[in-house]
Amino acid sequence: MGFSPGAFEGTLGETAGVAEPAAVTVVIPTFNESANVRELLHRLTDSVPARLPCEVVFVDDSSDDTPAVIAEAAQDCPFPVTVIHRDSPDGGLGGAVVEGMKAAGSDWIVVMDADLQHPPSLVPDLVATGEKESADLVVASRYLPGGSRAGLAGGYRVAVSRGATWLAKGLFPRALHGISDPMSGFFAIRRSAVTAEALKPLGYKILLELAVRCRPGGVAEVPFVFQDRFAGESKSTAREGLRFLRHLVGLRTAAPLARMAAFGLIGLTGFVPNLLALHALVTAGLHYLPAEILANQFGVLWNFLLIEVLLFRDRRHHRHWADRVGRFALLANADLVLRIPLIALLVGQFHLAVLPATTLALLTTFVLRFAGTEALVYLPRGGRSTRSRTGTARSTS
């Protein structure tokens, strides 16, 4: 990074009253924003460096000439501008932000969009608020008095954004306490509060990821008016909505017990395809016993697909999919085969009544099946995670 705090010696004295002069790295993800970046750097130049030393890091996944336009416009900037161009856009917008945070050289990091929906003039206010209130995270919120989502096109997007906010806040009441706008893409965070290794961002909701996995101490908010896009179009698609739901499940099931509960819920939904298939097979004239066995496979497949997408998304790559589906099906059918002798044992040897014996057997085989699935299908070979997970992420709320 070309950022040297010394370059700002002339302006450091202006932040009187604060023990240590703050500096900021502005991280800006870009995906084909060539028509916006020049104006953005212009407005940043107008509003930031006089009040706050800064550097700008673009993390770019563009297929257009955005990097070239940035490089040209950067020549007129009084602060260092870096472009990190990624050849593979891992994690989309969120992945890009994490990449930029790793490269940040200042105590404060501000994340903002490149399309001028986030007013650059607010960057110094976000940092000043964090310093003043000794907060680790300052969110620019559309839902505070004085803020609004004027630039959010259409009632549909407003409703989706509201629904997503409620859902996230309902699932993470503690981690999102004090954050009225967890969907905001505009915020300041202390670099010391970011454990980049612990982050596994997926798509647009990087603030949610940070708030849940890093648990910044002390949160403040500043209202802002979400502007219209300066140029170009939003890159958000219906696919982003699905990614968001997967992201929520991933965050919520980071702890083993929560994962087991989700595994159980998914298992329950498997009754639907199971029963539908059973009905179809019996109607087609098959004897009910082979029909049971066959129908069970539909439930198994349904469960397999759901846990792959929702629960073990980042643990799938140690085994070939055919290997995974084979092992999963084996465990699921063993469950069925084991349950009957287990019930017989509980009733015959331990003199339990049929109902409690069945309940106990169901629970036992369920836990065994969950543990088996974790260990035999999704645990990396050798038993260790291939990527280091040394970050000090705290557990979810």
Residues that bind ligand GDD (CB under 6 A): 29-31, 33, 59-61, 89, 92-93, 96, 113-115, 117, 152, 161, 183, 185, 204, 234-236
Residue 385 interacts, among ligand GDD, Mn ion, none and using kind-specific CB cut-offs from 5 to 8 Å, with none
Q: Is 138 exposed, middle or buried (0-12, 13-18, 19+ CB in 10 A)?
A: buried
Torsions phi, psi for 23 (to 5 deg):
-135, 160
**Dist. CA 78–CA 54, nearest whole Å:** 9
And the tokens for 200?
A: 């596994």
Residue 224 interacts, among Mn ion, ligand GDD, none and using kind-specific CB cut-offs from 5 to 8 Å, with none
Residue 109 interacts, among ligand GDD, Mn ion, none and using kind-specific CB cut-offs from 5 to 8 Å, with none
Q: Nearest approach, Cβ of 119 to Mn ion (angstroms)?
A: 13
Asked if residues 338 and 293 have their Cβ atoms less than 8 Å apart, the reply is no
Specify the residue, 235 or 327, whose C-beta has the smaller distance to ligand GDD. Answer: 235
Rule CB under 5 A: say whether 373 interacts with Mn ion.
no
Specify the residue, 117 or 296, whose C-beta has the smaller distance to Mn ion. Answer: 117
Specify the residue, 120 or 250, whose C-beta has the smaller distance to Mn ion. Answer: 120
Specify the residue, 236 or 364, whose C-beta has the smaller distance to ligand GDD. Answer: 236
Q: Nearest approach, Cβ of 72 to Mn ion (angstroms)?
A: 23
Say which residues have a Cβ less than 8 Å from residue 239's Cβ, sequence separation at least 6.
Answer: none
Asked if residues 207 and 138 have their Cβ atoms less than 8 Å apart, the reply is no
Specify the residue, 158 or 353, whose C-beta has the smaller distance to ligand GDD. Answer: 158
Residue number with the smallest Cβ distance to ligand GDD = 185
Asked if residues 106 and 6 have their Cβ atoms less than 8 Å apart, the reply is no
**Dist. CA 94–CA 202, nearest whole Å:** 6
Q: Are strands 24-30 and 108-111 parallel, antiparallel or unpaired?
A: parallel
Say which residues have a Cβ less than 8 Å from residue 302's Cβ, sequence separation at least 6.
Answer: 269, 270, 272, 273, 274
Q: Among 33, 60, 99, 115, which residue interacts with Mn ion (rule: CB under 5 A)?
A: 115
Specify the residue, 97 or 281, whose C-beta has the smaller distance to ligand GDD. Answer: 97
Q: Among 34, 117, 274, 373, which residue interacts with Mn ion (rule: CB under 5 A)?
A: 117
**Dist. CA 49–CA 214, nearest whole Å:** 29
Residue 53 interacts, among ligand GDD, Mn ion, none and using kind-specific CB cut-offs from 5 to 8 Å, with none
Residue 172 interacts, among Mn ion, ligand GDD, none and using kind-specific CB cut-offs from 5 to 8 Å, with none
74-113 positions binding Mn ion, by CB under 5 A: 113
The percent helix, strand, coil of the chain (3-state, each to 5) is 50, 10, 40
Specify the residue, 117 or 129, whose C-beta has the smaller distance to Mn ion. Answer: 117
**Dist. CA 300–CA 11, nearest whole Å:** 64
Q: Nearest approach, Cβ of 206 to ligand GDD (angstroms)?
A: 7
**Dist. CA 125–CA 102, nearest whole Å:** 23
Binding footprint of Mn ion on the chain (CB under 5 A) = 113, 115, 117
